[in-house]
Amino acid sequence: MRTPPGPKLPFGIRRYRRDAAAIMGELHRDYGEVARFRVGPQVMYQVTGPGPISEVLHDKTGAYRRGQVYGGFELFFGKGSLTTDGEQWRTLRAAGQPFFRSGSLRPAVPTIADVITDMMDRWDALGAPDDPIDIVPEVMRLAFEVVTRVLCGCDLSERSTEVVAAIPHVLSGMFPGSPELLLPSWVPGPVRRRLRNTRAVINGVADTLVAQHLSGQLPPDRLVGTLFDTIDPATGAPLTRQQIADELKTYLLAGHETTGCGLAWTLYELAEHPDVTERLAAELERELDGRPPEAADLPRLPYLTQIVDEALRLHPAIPMFPRETTRDVEIGGYHLPARSTLFISSHTVHHDPRHWPEPDTFDPDRFAPDRPKPVPYTHFPFGGGARRCIGAPLAELEIQVAVAMITQRYRLTPQPGYPVDEHSLISLRPRFGLPMTITARREQPAR
Ligand code: HEM
Q: Are 337 and 328 in contact (CB under 8 A)?
A: yes
Taking CA 241 as the corner, what is the angle to CA 239 and CA 247, rounded to the nearest 5 degrees?
75
5 domain residue, yes or no:
no
**Within 13 A of 66's CA, how many CA atoms are on the CB side?**
17
Q: Which DSSP category does 358 fall into?
A: S
- How far is residue 231's CA from residue 118's CA, in Å, rounded to a whole number? 38
Identify the three-state secondary structure at position 425.
strand
DSSP 132-146: -EEHHHHHHHHHHHH
426 domain residue, yes or no:
yes
pLDDT value at position 172?
82
pLDDT score of 218 more than 60: yes
Distance of CA 205 to the CA centre of its chain: 19
Q: Which domain holds residue 431?
A: 13-440
- How far is residue 124's CA from residue 57's CA, in Å, rounded to a whole number? 45
Q: Are 412 and 271 in contact (CB under 8 A)?
A: yes
322 domain residue, yes or no:
yes
Q: Which residues contact 52 (CB under 8 A, 6 or more apart)?
A: 33, 34, 331, 332
75 C-alpha vs ligand 1 centroid, how far in Å? 18
pLDDT value at position 277?
98
pLDDT value at position 367?
98
Q: Which of 27, 41, 47 is nearest to 325 (CA)?
A: 47
pLDDT score of 379 more than 80: yes
Phi, psi of 380 (to 5 degrees): -150, 60
pLDDT score of 238 more than 60: yes
Phi, psi of 436 (to 5 degrees): -135, 145
Could you give the dihedral angle defined by the CA atoms of residues 55, 57, 63 and 68, in that order, rounded to the nearest 10 degrees? Answer: 130
390 C-alpha vs ligand 1 centroid, how far in Å? 6
Q: Are 42 and 176 in contact (CB under 8 A)?
A: yes
CB atoms within 10 A of CB 398: 29
Task: Give 99-158 pLDDT, tens digit per residue.
Answer: 999 999 999 999 999 999 999 999 998 867 778 999 999 999 999 999 999 999 999 999
Q: Are 81 and 270 in contact (CB under 8 A)?
A: no
Among 104, 389, 400, which residue has the most ligand 1 atoms within 8 Å of its CB, making it the best to mutate? 389
Percent over 70 (pLDDT), the chain: 97
For residue 386, the ligand 1 atom closest to its alpha carbon is 41
Query: Beta strand 231-232 with 329-331: parallel, antiparallel or unpaired?
Result: unpaired
Q: Any binding-site annotation on 389?
A: yes
Residues with CB under 6 A from ligand 1: 81-82, 93, 147, 250-251, 254-255, 258-259, 262, 316-318, 321, 381-383, 387, 389-391, 394-395
Task: Give 303-352 pLDDT, tens digit per residue.
Answer: 999 999 999 999 999 999 999 999 999 999 999 999 999 999 999 999 99
273 C-alpha vs ligand 1 centroid, how far in Å? 28
Query: Sorting pLDDT into bands at 50, 70 and 90, what band is 173?
Result: confident
- How far is residue 244's CA from residue 36's CA, in Å, rounded to a whole number? 38
320 C-alpha vs ligand 1 centroid, how far in Å? 12
- How far is residue 147's CA from residue 254's CA, in Å, rounded to a whole number? 10
- Counting the structural domains of the chain, the total is 1
For residue 70, the ligand 1 atom closest to its alpha carbon is 16
Identify any residues that bridge with 427 across adjacent strands, giving them in sequence order.
Answer: 425
Q: Which of 93-97, 139-143, 423-427 has the lowest mean pLDDT?
A: 423-427
255 C-alpha vs ligand 1 centroid, how far in Å? 7
pLDDT value at position 447?
43
pLDDT value at position 176?
65
Atom 21 of ligand 1, nearest CA residue: 389
- How far is residue 202's CA from residue 77's CA, in Å, rounded to a whole number? 9
Query: Sorting pLDDT into bands at 50, 70 and 90, what band is 394?
Result: very high
Query: Sorting pLDDT into bands at 50, 70 and 90, what band is 193?
Result: confident
Residue 409 to residues 127, 231, 269, 285, 301, Cα–Cα distance (Å): 18, 46, 17, 11, 17
Mean pLDDT of 247-263: 96
446 domain residue, yes or no:
no
Q: Which of 1, 2, 5 is nearest to 32 (CA)?
A: 5
- How far is residue 120's CA from residue 406's CA, in Å, rounded to a whole number? 8
CATH number, domain of 403, equals: 1.10.630.10
445 domain residue, yes or no:
no
pLDDT value at position 96?
98
Q: Are 80 and 247 in contact (CB under 8 A)?
A: yes
Mean pLDDT of 366-380: 97
Atom 17 of ligand 1, nearest CA residue: 389
81 C-alpha vs ligand 1 centroid, how far in Å? 10
Taking CA 424 as the corner, what is the angle to CA 423 and CA 428, rounded to the nearest 5 degrees?
85
Residue 224 to residues 84, 140, 154, 207, 428, Cα–Cα distance (Å): 19, 22, 10, 11, 29
Among 101, 140, 252, 258, which residue has the most ligand 1 atoms within 8 Å of its CB, making it the best to mutate? 258
Atom 41 of ligand 1, nearest CA residue: 387
22 domain residue, yes or no:
yes
pLDDT score of 15 more than 70: yes
For residue 66, the ligand 1 atom closest to its alpha carbon is 16
pLDDT score of 178 more than 80: no
447 domain residue, yes or no:
no
Q: Are 261 and 428 in contact (CB under 8 A)?
A: yes
1 domain residue, yes or no:
no
Mean pLDDT over each residue of the chain, to the nearest integer: 94
262 C-alpha vs ligand 1 centroid, how far in Å? 12
Atom 5 of ligand 1, nearest CA residue: 317
pLDDT value at position 175?
74
Query: Sorting pLDDT into bands at 50, 70 and 90, what band is 75?
Result: confident
Atom 20 of ligand 1, nearest CA residue: 389
Mean pLDDT of 205-217: 97
Atom 19 of ligand 1, nearest CA residue: 389
Query: Beta strand 341-345 with 237-238: parallel, antiparallel or unpaired?
Result: unpaired
Atom 1 of ligand 1, nearest CA residue: 259
82 C-alpha vs ligand 1 centroid, how far in Å? 8
Task: Give 256-304 pLDDT, tens digit per residue.
Answer: 999 999 999 999 999 999 999 999 999 999 999 999 999 999 999 999 9
pLDDT value at position 183?
66
